[in-house]
Structure 1
Amino acid sequence: MALRFTCARRFVSFNTTIRLRGVKNAPSVTPGIYTAIPILVAWHDAMAITLDWHALCHAPRLRSREARMHEARQRFPDAVFATSLVEPGMRATAYRRWLRPIAMVEACNDAPVSASIITYRLGQITLAQSTSSPVHYLRDEDTIEKGRFGECLLLRLLIKGSVHGWFGDAKVDIKEGDIYLSDLAQTSEVWLEGDCAHINVMMRRADLGDITVHGRVLHGEWLPCRMLREHLLNFIDILRHCDADNVKEMTKATMELLRFCLRTDDVNNKDTGYFLDEARERIVTYIDEHLSESDLGALRLQREFAVSRSQLYRHFAELGGVQHYIRNKRLQAVLRDLCNEPHRSITDIIERYGFTTERQFQRAFRARFGMTASQVRADWKSKAMSDICEVIEN
């Protein structure tokens, strides 16, 4: 199977093809490189060559018709970078060149740079997963002037490690689970401490209106931030299996959740204390601990916390109501277990989280994620996805 690559080095551009194993008359390739994987090769000065993923959906396969149809439904990244696929001596240079339009990058110690970026362009936003060893990012006025992202904002969810830095004149410290934002029209300087992993969302500044975001940190223990964090984690988990309509709805939900977080964070900064209410935090903790119990609901919470129905409603009004919140938490837990416990039956997982009937569950799950639990389980266990995950992890 011939796959098209594109590469541009200064003023020179060209196309080339490679052939992969599993295809008639194809020569052998480097061990560990399989069909449908991100590929990065060093070309003289470690210029990245990016795979044209669309070829994967249309190229001939020596597989069954069902397998080809299944694989065609997979959503592959638009761009991939990984230092593990670059010659060791060229890794730092390759990473600097990859991120040059956004920031200058330097290692924080003498250890080799280790990093990966998987990017999906989704219309209104660009979504990316990234990992990195300790590095220093600098976005100065020269980088802003030469780059093309001056009209964009960058949201980063820190899922591993810790970060500190300066956004303009403001010093910030970010811990695991926090979400921080930067305006790419303004200067920033950030240090990653230890091995870090992020989920990143780039968007147009105009989509958030006149809300000030540069250096804003949404703390991980804050409930709206937890909602946005879980949404982003779920978005990444199911993105490869979503059709265009599902992606559009998930993107819309991402922006709405972010606006909600920023609005309510502004309320907190005015010392209203609404979302810092200790009673509501205790209720949320209780819900997390009792998700598997079928009688968990508004009546039980009223008894446990001695609050009226109207008080309970006010606590969760901005989140769609307490029943809506509990249902979404259960659906997210089911989605996580479908992926993390492939040997456990779907029926067992449904019963674990208190759904009384399978029909009720399937209707709610499909409405939330745009596919059935069986589709999620089948897609997650697919060979193509296993190959991609194995190579990325290695």
Structure 2
Amino acid sequence: MIEPRIDISTGFVDAADRDDYWRAATRPFYVTERAGRDVPLHGTISGTATGTSLIGETTVNSQNYVRNRRLITESELDDHYVVQAWTAGAMGGDADGVDFLVRTNEVSFVDLGKPLRASVRTHSQRTARTISLVVPRALVEASSHGRSLHGTVLTGMPAVVFSQCLQSISDALPHLDFAGAAQYENVVESLLKASVGHVAPEQQLRAPPEDLRARALVYILDHLGESWLSPTTICVALAVSRAQLYRAFNDDGGIAQVIRRKRLEHAYRELTTPDSADASVEDISRRWGFTSKPHFVRAFEAYYGTTPSRVRLEGRRTIGNPSINRLHRHLTSLSTGTA
């Protein structure tokens, strides 16, 4: 088996407790409120965690969401996106200054490291339904060259293809072992890359070229495997001061933390990829910019709570992403039969 499945529903708690129960369930993502005084909160969440991501389905009635700076800090999901394929209903709002509206058969991108105000709306007596993916920012923004996709909406046939593929993966995961789940996570990565490539240019370029954070992320991704990559070399390459660079990444925990995290994420994925089975831990560590195996092992264990060798041995039998692990524990604690 893979990790315990998430199974949350307001239908299995007393009517008087449903609002509080649903607010607690959705709290890692949003401060959730009723769309109207006479519209009690209803919803379901089902899903499975697979190594570094979480995939599942949600249904909700009309409700309002706010993601503010306090929640961004509390949730510890600030380096992730929630990507949702909408199969029913719609959501619109303000994604940190970007007005957006996602409709049925479209796909929304929400950066969990940025503020959001949004409202879900459904037809009378119906619910909105999404196939949802919580995934590290590195996988989403790799194909956009570090540009933010917060508030971006994928439309047309690319959105339909994305939705159908994600639905198939969501349906398959509960029946797979660890090796199978790991292979599907690779499929998700490829699906994201293909889909982001179809985002309309005017949406993909919402972060202006002069945006320092976007420019720095492009540089980091292009040189992630170079051991000399550091805040100093980035400042020289981009012709900015250290103070400017540090301010640009203040909400990310600092520029050095971003570099280390992205290196560890890439190394983790390579450790659990069958194609890299013949590569040693030391080879992988050097490929992603670590100067020595001991340095890599210490950083890896501090971030993931386990060693590179154990991750390789066990494949993806545990949730390797600490943020997804915390989210998974929170949601399973509220799942039917355990709440």
TM range (shorter): 0.5 to 0.7
Q: Which runs of 5+ in 1 are unaligned?
A: 1-72, 272-390
In structure 2, what residue type is equivalent to 1:93? D
Match of 1:240 in 2: 174
Report the Cα offset of residue 133 of structure 1: 0.9
Match of 2:291 in 1: none
Q: Secondary structure at the match of 1:181?
A: strand
Q: Alpha carbons of 1:204 and 1:218: their partners in 2 closer, same or farther (altered >3 Å)?
A: same
**Which one scores higher on RCO, CA 8 angstroms, separation ≥ 6?**
2
Q: How does 1:1-394 map to 2 (within 5 A)?
A: 77-109=4-36, 110-194=38-122, 195-208=127-140, 209=142, 210-219=146-155, 221=156, 223-265=157-199
Residues in 1 aligned to 2:14 and 2:89: alpha-carbon distance in whole angstroms = 26
Report the Cα offset of residue 267 of structure 1: 5.3
In structure 1, what residue type is equivalent to 2:163? R
Report the Cα offset of residue 145 of structure 1: 2.0
Are the aligned partners of 1:77 and 1:118 in contact in 2 as well (CA < 8 Å)?
no
Residues in 1 aligned to 2:50 and 2:17: alpha-carbon distance in whole angstroms = 31
Q: Secondary structure at the match of 2:82?
A: strand
Identical pairs, percent: 18
Are the aligned partners of 2:89 and 2:104 in contact in 1 as well (CA < 8 Å)?
yes
Are the aligned partners of 1:76 and 1:240 in contact in 2 as well (CA < 8 Å)?
no
The C-alpha deviation readout for 1:172-223, integer Å capped at 9, x for no partner, is: 111101000011110011111022111110111123331421111001x2x3
In structure 1, what residue type is equivalent to 2:191? L
Q: Alpha carbons of 1:88 and 1:252: their partners in 2 closer, same or farther (altered >3 Å)?
A: same
TM superposition score normalised by structure 1: 0.47
Q: Which runs of 5+ in 2 are unaligned?
A: 206-335
In structure 2, what residue type is equivalent to 1:92? D
Q: Alpha carbons of 1:108 and 1:267: their partners in 2 closer, same or farther (altered >3 Å)?
A: closer
Q: Secondary structure at the match of 1:163?
A: strand
RMSD: 2.4
Report the Cα offset of residue 265 of structure 1: 2.2
In structure 2, what residue type is equivalent to 1:88? A
Match of 1:22 in 2: none
Report the Cα offset of residue 251 of structure 1: 1.5
Residues in 2 aligned to 1:76 and 1:126: alpha-carbon distance in whole angstroms = 11
Report the Cα offset of residue 269 of structure 1: 6.3
Are the aligned partners of 1:228 and 1:254 in contact in 2 as well (CA < 8 Å)?
no
Which moves more between the two structures, 257-266 or 102-111?
A: 257-266
The aligned length equals 198
Are the aligned partners of 1:178 and 1:218 in contact in 2 as well (CA < 8 Å)?
yes
Report the Cα offset of residue 111 of structure 1: 2.2
Report the Cα offset of residue 76 of structure 1: 7.6
Report the Cα offset of residue 124 of structure 1: 2.2
